[in-house]
Chain A
Amino acid sequence: MNDRFLMSLGAIALAILVAVVLVAPTSAAAQAQKAAAATVTKAAAPAKPWTAPRTPDGQPDLQGYWTNNSYTPLERPKDLTKEFYTPEELREAEKKAAEREEEQTVPGTTADVHYDFTQFGLDRSQTRLTDNLRTSVIVDPPNGKLPPVTSEGQKRAADRAAERKKQGAQYDQVQNIPLGSRCVYQNAGPPMLPPGYNPAYQILQSKDTVTILIEMLHEVRVIPLDGRPHAPQGYRSWLGDSRGHWEGDTLVVETTNFNDKSAFRGASENMKVTERFTRLSDDAIRYEFTVNDPSTWEIPWKGEMPFVKINGPVFEHACHEGNYGVANTLKAVRLEEKKAAEEAARKGTK
């Protein structure tokens, strides 16, 4: 299959989407078709009828190694109003984004104090991209932006900021250092968003469980399918408490019982995330999610993006083990404080 053919398929898929929206915007069939066309990847328009693979238990088979590596932002950029790029526009956008990542910083600036991502194979363009034609991960609200934050959500954000301020500046105390820097939590979700680098996942299934290994930061989601109720309210965790079931060929996972520290985009511990995994082809899974937290956002919001195949394995990340950065940073702050105290004392004795 050559690229031109793939691009025509993408164009056809878009045309179907537009036609469906124009002709029958409210019918269930139209909605289903719209959903089917919504995640348009190179692989999402198969050349011949495709049968979803099954596990030996007869369940739709989502197993394998996957990536969500992408330049697609969560929210639609200010200068864009359309929902989809054409394949040509996507190529151009990805090319520009790759060039920005390779761009050189100015010596002596804060941005320059970093190793070079390109030298270490960490530019997103250096590994497989999902080639998502969407201009934002968020699909609802239709403007591709997060919905307005409730007054309660605003107050919580202010309270959290005040609490951090009590600890001093961002790098003064370990409690204030961002969770990702402390190797605690970084986009593992749910919802599972691209972590920036090392975007590798493995899905494993048994009759009663789906397990997702997430390379960043060495997370494992174990999702029971046996209909058991959620854990008691008192149980709270970073990744929450997930329960899954099948709706046709789609795996539906509902997650509650988050702690109040993961605070996804300012969410409360009462956030509920519903994810839907649908195998689109040998090469792609459509991943949809709904975030519902009435105490934070005025309405629920939805996102969608593909996962595409990569070769395995998922490697152990063992982030905390080698995280000398936190100790180095805190030592630096203590040293500066000591110097400042000595300087103050010296001035005092003059």
Chain B
Amino acid sequence: MRITLAVTITAILLLAAVPVWAHHAFSAEFDVNKPLTLKGTLSKWEMINPHSWFHIDVKGPDGTVTEWMIEGGSPNTLIRLGVTKNTVKVGTELTIEGYQAKEGTNKAVGRNFVLADGTRLFLSLGGSVPGTPGAVPESEKK
């Protein structure tokens, strides 16, 4: 169950966005000295607050499947922007770069979510879908 089983620890050279404001100090929850990369399939997306959690099944070299919980962003604004649970379907293959929880179990914060085709997961639809709750009301568009 340790990270060596299913996870390759790498010095991650990819970059994540600046946390300009945050719900809590993630560096108190996750260990900056334990960067990791996980490749697996989504088994559940908990669209909960204050932060959502992605459950992914990670298959080790011996075929053993280990479940990891990955912390992501609050779903409310996404829902207002038209994102649903089906936007990232169960079974989606994801590569997640992040940092493991200090408390030592299979939890991590996902600083970058990458899809199977190598593109970064980008959940926000930017209010571009007319009529979605967070979009500028049609009546106010100039």
Complex contact A105–B74 (CB within 8 A): no
Contacts of A123 in B (CB 8 A): 17, 124
Chain A 326-350 interface residues, beta-carbon cutoff 8 Å to B:
326, 328-329, 331-333, 335-336
Contact of B74 among A100, A103, A171, A197 (CB under 8 A): A197
> Interface code B107-124, partner A: CB below 8 Å = 1, 0 otherwise?
101111100000011111
Task: Please give, as numbers and ranges, the residues of chain B lying within 8 Å of A119 by CB-CB distance.
Answer: 17, 72-73, 112-113, 120-124
* B27 vs chain A, min Cβ distance (A): 4
Q: Which of B20, B22, B48, B124 contacts A318 (CB 8 A)?
A: B48
> In the assembled complex, how far is the CB of residue B141 from the closest CB belonging to chain A, in whole angstroms?
10
Chain A residues with CB under 8 A of B135: 128, 310-311
Asked whether any CB of chain A lies closer than 8 Å to the CB of B29, the reply is yes
User: Across the interface, which residues of A come within 8 angstroms of B73, CB to CB?
Assistant: 115-117, 119-122
User: With the chains together, A55 CA to B53 CA distance in Å?
Assistant: 42
Closest beta carbon of chain B to A170's beta carbon, Å = 7
Q: Does A243 contact B (CB under 8 A)?
A: no
Contact of A319 among B29, B50, B110, B131 (CB under 8 A): B50
Residues A116 and B137 in contact in the complex (CB < 8 Å), given A126-B124, A127-B80 = no
Chain A residues within an 8 Å CB radius of B76: 197-198, 200, 215, 315, 317
Looking at A104, A180, A328, the one whose CB has the most chain B CB atoms below 10 A away is A328
Where chain A touches its partner, the secondary structure class is loop
Assess the A113–B136 pair: CB atoms within 8 A: no
CA distance in complex: A310, B76 (Å): 14
* Shortest distance from the beta carbon of A280 to any chain B beta carbon, whole Å: 13
Which residues on the A side are within 8 Å of B126 (C-beta)? 121, 126
Provide the bound-state CA to CA distance between A102 and B126, in Å.
14
Assess whether B63 is interfacial by the CB under 8 Å rule: no
For the complex, give the distance between the alpha carbons of A108 and B16 in Å.
11
A43 at the interface (CB under 8 A from B): yes
Shortest distance from the beta carbon of A108 to any chain B beta carbon, whole Å? 7
Query: B142 an interface residue at 8 Å Cβ cutoff?
Result: yes
Cβ–Cβ contact A325 & B50, under 8 A:
yes
Which of B18, B80, B121 contacts A111 (CB under 8 A)? B18
Indicate with 1 or 0, residue by residue over A80-121, a CB within 8 angstroms of chain B CB atoms: 000000000000000000001111111111111111111111
Closest residue to A120 on the B side, CB-wise?
Answer: B73
A-chain residues with CB within 8 Å of residue B123 when the two chains form the complex: 119-121
**Are B50 and A183 in contact (CB-based, < 8 A)?**
yes
Measured between alpha carbons, how far is A181 from B50 in the docked complex, in Å?
Answer: 9
Which one, B16, B26, B48, B53, contacts A104 given CB within 8 A?
B16
**Residues on B close to A: CB < 8 A?**
11-32, 35, 46, 48-53, 71-74, 76-81, 83, 98-99, 101-104, 107, 109-113, 120-127, 131-137, 139-140, 142
Q: A122-B77, A183-B50, A217-B50 are in contact. List 13 more A-B contacts (CB 8 A).
A: A108-B12, A128-B127, A171-B25, A196-B20, A309-B140, A319-B50, A322-B51, A325-B50, A329-B24, A332-B101, A332-B102, A333-B28, A335-B102
What are 25 A-B contacts with C-beta separation under 8 Å? Answer: A42-B142, A101-B18, A108-B32, A115-B16, A115-B109, A115-B110, A116-B73, A116-B111, A117-B20, A119-B73, A120-B123, A120-B124, A121-B73, A122-B77, A122-B124, A128-B135, A197-B74, A283-B140, A309-B136, A315-B79, A325-B51, A329-B24, A329-B28, A332-B103, A335-B102
